[in-house]
Amino acid sequence: MPIEKREAVDWIHHEKGLSVKRACEEVGMSRSGWYRPSTVDPLKDEELRKMLEEITTRLGR
């Protein structure tokens, strides 16, 4: 859900011209959450999963 909120704030801020403060209020997200770097990277999770599958296949487990 936080990723969707970030995307919504980004869209509101850039497309509608609202301030980040106002966009965060509209979405229900704190401004500190907006400025804090995201710790979720789905691409890295997918890459890690593939690497683990390759290792387990190679080791026969």
Residue identified by tokens 């859900």 is 1
Q: Read off the pLDDT of residues 3-60 as tens digits, 9 standing for 90 and up.
A: 889 899 999 999 999 999 999 999 999 999 888 887 766 666 778 788 888 888 888 7
pLDDT at position 41: 65
pLDDT at position 51: 84
Q: Which domain holds residue 6?
A: 2-59
pLDDT at position 21: 95
Burial of 54 (0-12, 13-18, 19+ CB in 10 A): exposed
* Torsion angle in degrees (nearest 10) through CA of 3, 6, 43, 40: -70
Number of domains in the chain: 1
pLDDT at position 24: 94
pLDDT at position 61: 61
- Of 40, 12, 43, the residue nearest 25 (C-alpha): 12
